[in-house]
Amino acid sequence: MIRILLPLIGLALLTVLPNYISDYGLGLLIGAATYVTLASAWALFSGQTHYISLATVAFYGTGAYTVAVLNEALPYPAVLACAALIGGAMALVVGLSTLRLQGVYFVIFSFGLAELTRQLITWYEVNVTGTLGRYIFLDITTRQIYWQMLALGAATLALTAWINRSRLGLALRVIGDDETVAAHSGINLARTKLIAFVLSAMILTLAGAITSPRYVYVEPAIVFNPTVSFLTVIMALLGGANRLWGPALGAVPLFLAFEYLSSNFPDTYPIFLGLLFIGVVFLVPNGLLAKLETLTARKAPQTKEART
Amino acid sequence: MSFLSIKGAVKQFGGLRAVDGVSFTLKKGEIVGLLGPNGSGKTTLINLVSGALPATAGEIRLNGQRLTGLRRDRIARAGVARTFQLVRILPSLSLIENVKITAVFGHNAHWGRAAERVAREALEMVGLSDRAEAQAGDLTYIDQKRLELARALAAEPEILLLDEWLAGLNPTELSEGIDLIRKLHQGGLTILMVEHIIDAVRALCPRVVVMNSGQLIADEATDAALSDPSVITAYLGGEVDA
Quick: pLDDT tens for A2-17.
Answer: 788 899 999 999 999 9
**Structurally, how many domains does chain B consist of?**
2
DSSP B28: T
Shared-domain flag, residues B147 and B173: no
Q: What is the pLDDT of residues B125-138, one digit of tens each?
A: 999 999 999 999 88
Confidence of residue B121 (pLDDT cuts 50, 70, 90): very high
| Position B239 pLDDT exceeds 60 | no
Q: Which of B157, B176, B204 is the last residue of a domain?
A: B157
- From chain B residues 47-66, the ones with a CB under 8 A of any chain A CB are 50-52
- Set of chain B residues whose Cβ sits within 8 Å of the Cβ of A178: 88, 90
Please give the biggest Cα pair distance in chain A: 67
The pTM (predicted TM-score) of the whole model is 0.91
Shared-domain flag, residues B119 and B182: no
- Residue A258 CA to residue B164 CA, distance in Å, equals 54
CB contact under 8 A, B50 and A184: yes
Q: B217: domain CATH number?
A: 3.40.50.300
Burial group, residue A23, by CB count within 10 angstroms (0-12, 13-18, 19+) = exposed
Average pLDDT over residues B188-196: 95
Nearest chain A Cα to B101, which residue?
A: A185
| Position A64 pLDDT exceeds 90 | yes
Shared-domain flag, residues B117 and B235: no
Shared-domain flag, residues B129 and B165: no
A300 domain residue, yes or no = yes
Shared-domain flag, residues B106 and B11: no
Distance of CA B128 to the CA centre of its chain: 20
pLDDT at A3: 82
Range of the domain at B130: 84-157
A18 domain residue, yes or no = no
A9 domain residue, yes or no = no
Confidence of residue A300 (pLDDT cuts 50, 70, 90): low
- Residue A141 CA to residue A131 CA, distance in Å, equals 27
Cβ atoms of A145 and A30 within 8 Å: the answer is: yes
Of A27-36, A124-133, B61-70, B136-145, which gets the smallest average pLDDT?
A124-133
Shared-domain flag, residues B103 and B197: no
- Residue A215 CA to residue A135 CA, distance in Å, equals 9
Shared-domain flag, residues B237 and B128: no
Average pLDDT, chain A: 90
A13 domain residue, yes or no = no
Q: Which of B122, B157, B192 is the last residue of a domain?
A: B157
**Structurally, how many domains does chain A consist of?**
1
CB contact under 8 A, A182 and B97: no
| Position B93 pLDDT exceeds 50 | yes
- Residue B33 CA to residue B26 CA, distance in Å, equals 11
Beta strands B2-13 and B159-163, pairing class: unpaired
Q: What is the pLDDT of residues B158-184, one digit of tens each?
A: 999 999 999 988 899 999 999 999 999
Confidence of residue B7 (pLDDT cuts 50, 70, 90): very high
Shared-domain flag, residues B170 and B151: no
Which of A185, A188, A192, A243 has the most B C-beta neighbours within 10 Å, making it the best mutation to test the interface with B?
Answer: A185
Shared-domain flag, residues B138 and B177: no
Q: A191: domain CATH number?
A: 1.10.3470
A30 domain residue, yes or no = yes
Shared-domain flag, residues B168 and B143: no
Shared-domain flag, residues B141 and B235: no
Q: Which of A84-88, A279-283, A289-293: highest mean pLDDT?
A: A84-88
Confidence of residue B242 (pLDDT cuts 50, 70, 90): very low
| Position B90 pLDDT exceeds 60 | yes
How far are the Cα atoms of A184, A244, B30, B200 from residue B66, in angstroms, in the given order?
A: 17, 42, 20, 31
Q: Which of B130, B157, B184 is the last residue of a domain?
A: B157
Shared-domain flag, residues B170 and B134: no
